[in-house]
């Protein structure tokens, strides 16, 4: 059975896919068979779910698309609302079964969550419940911007309350105008009880260039 990691973030749009792909490339560079999984995708662009496409491109094992992405919805909204619009309901056991199949085919599986850690996925469950069902150590992507300290510490607290291991965190510098970036990172290093895996600088490079440049900053 392969080792998996659940990648979550302090918010939506803060670089979970970029970091997930970087992790896949880094593990692949170590000689591992790797698969990226996006259990729930919400938001289609030009006929494609871009997060899923990027994870597929970063994987080095061929698997069925349905296995890595059991649920895909057109609307870029919360998963439970996107599912409602599509007349469906997200069943975490379906995702769990897909993950188990993937874990027999790869050494490392990177599972990218949807939105933030507590985003609703159906009427009664959240992203936290998904991480619990998969029972994976969590990697937290912190979007470095004003307010990130509170967001990061609250998310870390929620991860621990869920009974999960916070394996590490990545600082993603998404706001080039943010003040005191180094001091904010140092504050989180002091207060988050897990290693800092890397600092992703703000860049206007293409997504592919970003993924490979991250190999130099991730500590695996």
Q: Which structure tokens are listed for 59?
A: 């994987």
CB count in 10 Å sphere of residue 75: 15
Cα(181)–Cα(185) distance, integer angstroms: 6
Strand partners, 142: 171
Strand partners, 73: 42
Choosing from 16, 38, 48, 219, which is the catalytic residue? 38
Active site residue 204: no
Instruction: Check if the beta carbon of residue 195 is closer than 8 Å to that of residue 171.
Output: no
Cα(219)–Cα(166) distance, integer angstroms: 15
Residue 71: which of 14, 15, 112, 20 has the closest Cα? 112
Cα(179)–Cα(186) distance, integer angstroms: 13
Q: Please list the active-site residues.
A: 38
């Amino acid at each position: 059975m392969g080792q998996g990691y659940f990648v979550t973030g302090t918010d939506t749009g803060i670089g979970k896919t970029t970091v997930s792909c970087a992790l896949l490339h880094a593990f692949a560079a170590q000689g591992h068979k790797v698969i990226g999984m996006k259990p729930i995708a919400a938001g289609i662009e030009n006929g494609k779910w871009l997060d899923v496409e990027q994870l597929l491109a970063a994987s080095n094992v061929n698997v069925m698309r349905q296995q890595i992405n059991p649920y895909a919805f057109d609307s870029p909204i919360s998963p439970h609302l996107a599912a409602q619009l599509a007349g469906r309901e997200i069943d975490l056991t379906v995702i769990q079964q897909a993950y188990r199949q993937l874990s027999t085919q790869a050494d490392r599986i990177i599972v990218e969550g949807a939105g933030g850690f507590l985003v609703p996925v159906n009427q009664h469950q959240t992203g936290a419940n998904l991480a619990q069902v998969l029972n994976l150590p969590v990697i937290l992507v912190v979007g470095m911007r004003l307010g990130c300290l509170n967001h990061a510490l609250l998310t870390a607290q929620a991860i621990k309350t869920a009974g999960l291991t916070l394996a590490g965190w990545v600082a993603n510098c998404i706001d080039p105008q943010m003040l005191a970036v180094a001091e904010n990172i140092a504050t989180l290093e002091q207060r988050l009880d897990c290693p800092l895996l890397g600092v992703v600088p703000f860049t206007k490079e293409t997504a592919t260039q970003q993924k490979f440049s991250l190999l130099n900053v991730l500590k695996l």
